[in-house]
Structure 1
Amino acid sequence: MKYDEVVHGRRSIRGYKPIPVPQDVIREVVEMAMRAPSSMNTQPWHLYVITGEPLDRIRKGNTERNLAGVPHSREFRTHDKYEGEHRDRQVGIAKQLFAAMGIAREDKDGRQDWVLRGFRQFDAPLSIIVTYDRELAGNDIAPFDCGAIANALVNAAWSRGLGCVINSQGIMQSPVVREHAGIADDEVIQISIAMGYPDDDFPANAVVSERKSIDDAVVWVGFDD
């Protein structure tokens, strides 16, 4: 694909075919993604590419602990509920997804099932956990760099026919992730990326999130009118 085909075609994938992703394909994706920019070329990231039984154990433990009411232990800073236009966009994509899936507002079971899919990393056949060195914790540069490689991973994957969704529900219980992925104590868990071949029959996969206009996002400085 050309770059603009990747950027304009890519969308978040929440339903996957039960087909394993070959390791050589993932290696290509990761090699491309590691060209992502980083502050002063520090490249703070580590990538744990997980599939099969270890991923199933993470799904199971994450789901069971969340349903049991164990407080989340995500290792990045969170914030209070979104407000204003940010909340409007959050609600907007939820409405798009629920409409595509036929989940009514009063359908508590359907909404619960959707939440559980997030805990299971949307049943994707593969997950990439992004971490960074704990010695860099306490500033925002390393997480920013991890965001850069996360973006590079989803775009590189799309160029190889793979879909992704960046999600934090799948790592809400960090002890589970650490145990079954073998993540070292001197690393901070930043985010997870579910990945696999898109199931074209899964309705939510057709959803394309609405984007604010360039005029709402950009301040032009120093240009002639």
Structure 2
Amino acid sequence: LGVQFALGAFAAGLFCAISIGFVKNNCRVKEDAVMGIIFSGMFALGLVLLTKIETDIHLLHILFGNVLGITTEDMVEAGLIAAIASLVMLIKRRDLLLYCFDPAHAAALGLPVKWLHFGLLVFLAVTIVSALKAAGIILVIAMLIAPGAIGFLLSRSFDRMLAIAVGVSVISCLAGTILSYHMDSATAPLIVVIQSAIFIFVLAISQLKQGRAKADVIAA
């Protein structure tokens, strides 16, 4: 359509975020089901448009990313988005934490629950868009979820979870990039493989600890 890739992706992501929030607030359907329907519908619409519109962007690059195709402008753009998102997270950390764990309590305290909800969705959409060229629309979801899940398994403190998630993200990205160079393989999939391996390892360790704790309780 003659629209820049990042701008079109941002508009689509913003539409998805607002649509998810609106449908979730005005419908009995659960949020995960709403997200699945809207994301799948937008993804299917994108594939239909891709077959009808001439573009120099390859479908595989949209799905799985193209790290080698990232320009300096893309890196600056991603850095600015990361800085803004981190700043907002630091400033509104307590409000966001309370809203995520207890929305009813947050509303009772007079916090703008709807704005916090839509704000989180918008920042999520912007973050996904900033990583699309590097990771692709499929693998970026795994990169968003895996580090947080690992942090959740390793710590009960929210601040420590954030620190662990950031550390896992940085280490896996560096390791995936280095391995992809030596293995002559795609970078984004290797990063996700490393994050998945870390998650499985941490999950296995946590299950073993829980099993030993239960055994000690029974023995006592």
Answer yes or no: same fold by TM over 0.5: no
Name the one with the larger helix percent. 2
Q: Quickly name the TM-score band, shorter chain normalised.
A: under 0.3
Scaled by the length of structure 2, the TM-score of the pair is 0.23
Scaled by the length of structure 1, the TM-score of the pair is 0.23
Structure with the greater alpha carbon radius of gyration: 2
Name the one with the larger strand percent. 1
